[in-house]
Amino acid sequence: MSFVTIVLILVTVLYNIQPIQSQSCELYIDVTTGNDTADCKSIQTPCKSLKGIYSHLCDNSIVYISEGSYKGIDNRLTIDIKEKQVQFKNLTQGQVIFDAENQGTIVTIDSGDVLLEGITFMNGNFSNGGCLSISQKIFPTTQITNCDFINCNSDTSGGAIYTENEIMISYSRFQNCRAVNGGAIMTYNANISIANSLFKNNIASASGGAISITGVNSIAYVNTSVFSENTASQGGALKCLLDVSLNVYDTDFILNTAYINGGALMVEQASNNSILILNNVKFANNNASNNGGGFFFNGSNYYSIQQFYDINVQNNTAGNGGGFYQFLFNGTLLFDKFQFMNNPGGEWECNSLYTALVSISNSTFTYSNNSTLNCPFTTYAGNCSGLFSQCIVNQTVPGCYNCSAQNCAVYGGNQTYCFSQPMTSTQCICYVAPNQPLSLVFIISVSALAVLGFIVIFAICRATKSKHHRYNPIK
């Protein structure tokens, strides 16, 4: 057989091979009418439990669940389906409840692409992830939408959810969940995205009353959500060990409590060049016993980039930094459209050991008699530099420091307080105008001194030369 003939045969065989089609199927569960010996393939022949449908899962399964309360060991499922996809959906939009009765977690995902939609998970109790435990460390992403997690508990991490893989959560509610770390959710080395969700009355005895984010190479997005009445020792609502980036948009932190630091939000930096972005975020009525009633940041020994846009900080309390408390080792801070109002314990405190480049614009600081405002912030241990702004004080209050100058420069570990009016009224408003880099000020100042020095020296030299000059007839 010639070589050409062999090639033609191979081409013909390959041409006629049909691609393998991924198998799709719809499965049904009904706690009232179902039977686990049924084929589960129609609404007329549903299975009764999660265990019943597991052997029927195909490459791409959609499991429709009828209204009802699902309990018992047959409704606690471990999913290990490799590259397969499975979607668990509410069939009728009635209430679908999986109740673990404090006997373990409800769903464990070891592998597979899983979506949970329109389901209530409650009374789970497990070491990692009281109601949902995700141990897979490879793609794909677990998706949760329009779900409720209620009274889920863990004796270690993630009262409702513990995950080591990427997770996306939307339009969901987490209430009355408890854990040591992450009262509702804990992520470890995993990306997380949260949108349009509510976290209320969750408790962590250690960190992250609602959410604890830790590990390396993780990115977190929180958008259009509410954190209310959550409690922890550190980070009343959210505690983040920042390795890559934390991004929070259009979100409210209200009435959260920390027994130590970070009444609403606590961030500890874990690597250089990490990024923290808050945009259109409200911190109101949060409390920390020690530092940062609204927000606490610990930069450790790393360089960080922090950007804050359109932030409202009001009526938060703490021993230090009732509004914000930031320990910045080295990095860049950008503030735009900031409003600090009535945060006892100090509107904002910033402590830095090395150079911190700070830019503040379009921001208002308003405070009452039991607040302090160091305009625009304080430094204790070192050097919060790079700031040259103008503070325009319309009113002052007893306890404010008075100075005649309106230019407020903070550098070299010094504190400067700028108030231009007598201390008479009951409220003080400080507007921080768009700033100029501190380096520019130094350049202008040094240049002016240099020119003046040159003029003085030149004048002295001329005077001396005139005094000792002799007539030269050869000229």
**Looking at the predicted structure, is the pLDDT value of residue 85 above 80?**
yes
Percent share of the chain, pLDDT over 90: 48
> What pLDDT is stored for residue 381 in this prediction?
27
CB distance 253 to 265 below 8 Å: yes
Q: Cα 353–357–361 angle (5° rounding)? A: 130
CB distance 439 to 359 below 8 Å: no
Looking up tokens 């199927």, which residue turns up?
25
> What pLDDT is stored for residue 216 in this prediction?
80
Average of pLDDT values for 212-228?
92
CA distance 191 to 216: 10
CB distance 375 to 408 below 8 Å: yes
Strand ranges in 176-302 using DSSP code E only, listed in sequence order = 178-181, 185-188, 192-195, 198-200, 203-207, 211-214, 219-223, 226-228, 231-234, 238-242, 245-254, 257-261, 265-269, 274-284, 287-291, 295-298
**Looking at the predicted structure, is the pLDDT value of residue 301 above 90?**
no
**Looking at the predicted structure, is the pLDDT value of residue 101 above 70?**
yes
Averaged confidence pLDDT in the chain? 75
- Confidence (pTM): 0.77
Residue type, 450: A
> What pLDDT is stored for residue 147 in this prediction?
97
Q: What is the pLDDT of residues 336-382, one digit of tens each?
A: 777 777 777 655 555 443 445 555 556 555 544 333 333 333 333 22
Q: What is the pLDDT of residues 64-84, one digit of tens each?
A: 999 999 999 999 988 887 778
Q: What is the pLDDT of residues 135-152, one digit of tens each?
A: 876 667 899 999 999 999
Residue type, 110: D
